[in-house]
Amino acid sequence: MRPSYDVVIIGGGVHGLAAAYYLAANHGISNVAVLEKGYLGAGGSGRNTAILRSNYLTPEGVRFYDRSLTLYRTLATDLNFNVMFSRRGHLTLAHSDASLRTMRWRAEVNKLNGVDSEVIGPDEIKRMVPYLDVSAEARYPVLGALYHPPGGIIRHDAVVWGYARGAAALGAHLHQQTEVTGIEVAGGRVTGVRTTRGDIATGTVLNATAGWASLVASLAGVRLPIQTSPLQAAVTEPLRPFLPTVIVSGSLHVYVSQTDRGELVFGASVDPFTSYSMRGSLEFIEGLAGHVLELMPALGKARLLRQWAGLCDMTPDFSPVMGFTPVTGFLVDVGWGTYGFKAGPVSGEAMAECIATGRIPEIIAGFGLDRFMSGQLVGEKGAAAVGH
Ligand SMILES: Cc1cc2nc3c(=O)[nH]c(=O)nc-3n(C[C@H](O)[C@H](O)[C@H](O)COP(=O)(O)OP(=O)(O)OC[C@H]3O[C@@H](n4cnc5c(N)ncnc54)[C@H](O)[C@@H]3O)c2cc1C
């Protein structure tokens, strides 16, 4: 570890590592340290369900996530690392007139921004996923779905390792087992960080710590409108491939995809309390199993292999907080809630530009911290509360 770096990035998840990579790759800034209190990918980046999509509700959100999908498409080549991106389509089911209306709204906003999404009916859904119960007898009958062909899944660990290797190869230092315990501020400017392995002088610190973001921001005296809640997920034993697409049901609070190895990966919405605990609960798995069986009764004999939890940094409008803060040199790339893995590439690219130029790139202009003062929120709840 050097006594000083041009840039210190706190958090060794996809966001911190992507920022380090693009700082070097796009701007030639490589005197950079990524400080990670555990191991690379120990946070949400190694715990998520790896769903990629850009079918959001607001124009700001659609444009932003679509840029990330564009970067993901060529990531394996750019990093020379197989990230196993599988474009397999994404279905968000509507079980009520109200959610069908939201799906139509999303489809129109998507199309206006050049993103492929359309509302389809139960017959077409059944043709795509024969195991799904679309009968009128279901407790919550399926009335239609938002179909988003560009969506898919990826190997999340590979993305983390690919960015880590790429950043290190270009000169960034990645320090694991190095917890930031203090941020030095003098005269309203960042001057350095304190860590469990010694002090580092720097004029630029990027907070990319997701679930821990508000704790780390408070070290610099910055308050964030963020609450942290656990989000749980679970996976079954491998089954014969039968599920060609990602399925989300907002009403049933559940989503499912099948990995290339055949496992079914399930997720839900966040636990209904704030906590820094990363333990799974029986209550979650009981609720999840019931809802999965309502969607696909044939899965009654599938066996769960394991469950786990990660931390989600939730903002009031289900959109991130990115850019500068009232402390000069202290930047944030946080508020990633349940949906931030897919944003890793575009966030890394945008934060690197922000640090290198001192200006906010247009693509993240709507996500500044000051929007909570001006009241110009980017309301994404309708597209991000359950489907991640
Ligand atoms: C179960 C689950 C399912 C999800 N599913 C999806 C999905 O399908 N699609 C999607 O897009 N998103 C999903 N997400 C959200 C996604 O995982 C996160 O938004 C994303 O990974 C955040 O990445 P990050 O790099 O910002 O943070 P993280 O990967 O959480 O990394 C932050 C790092 O900061 C480190 N850290 C914290 N404090 C300190 C400190 N003081 N000093 C040094 N290091 C510190 C932590 O150890 C951690 O490794 C899911 C999340 C969970 C938990």
Torsion of CA 235, 240, 246, 248, to 10 degrees: -60
Q: Is 144 in the pocket of ligand 1 (CB under 6 A)?
A: no
Confidence (pTM): 0.98
In the predicted model, is pLDDT for residue 92 greater than 90? yes
Averaged pLDDT of the chain: 97
Q: Give the CA count within 13 Å in the CB-facing half-sphere of 174.
A: 24
Q: Of 341, 347, 349, which is best to mutate to test ligand 1, by the most ligand atoms within 8 angstroms of its C-beta? A: 341
Rounded to an integer, what distance in angstroms lies between the CA atom of residue 231 and that of residue 37?
21
Q: Is the CB of 53 under 6 A from ligand 1?
A: no
Q: Is 50 helix (H, G, I), strand (E, B) or coil?
A: coil
Q: Decide whether any atom of ligand 1 lies within 6 Å of the 23 Cβ.
A: no
Q: How many CB atoms lie within 10 A of CB 365?
A: 13
* pLDDT surpasses 90 at 355: yes
pLDDT score, position 387? 73
User: 234, 228, 287: which is closest to 259 by C-alpha?
Assistant: 234
So what's the pLDDT on residue 383? 86
For residue 197, pLDDT beyond 90? yes
C-beta of 36 in contact with ligand 1 (< 6 A): yes
Task: Work out the percent of the chain whose per-residue pLDDT is above 70.
Answer: 100
Calculate mean pLDDT across residues 87-113: 96
- Per-residue confidence at 386, pLDDT binned at 50, 70, 90? confident
For 268-324, the pLDDT digits (tens) are 999 999 999 999 999 999 999 999 999 999 999 999 999 999 999 999 999 999 999
For tokens 């509700």, what's the residue? 57
The dihedral over CA atoms of 355, 357, 359, 361, expressed in degrees to the nearest 10, equals -80
Q: In what order do the strands lie in the sheet with 152-153?
A: 51-52, 152-153, 86-87
Alpha helices per DSSP H over 220-271: none
Over pLDDT 90: what percentage of the chain?
98
Residue 27, beta-bridge partner list: none
Contact 91, 106 (CB under 8 A): no
Which candidate, 8, 136, 14, 115, places its Cα nearest to that of 55?
Answer: 115
Query: Is residue 385 scored above 90 in pLDDT?
Result: no
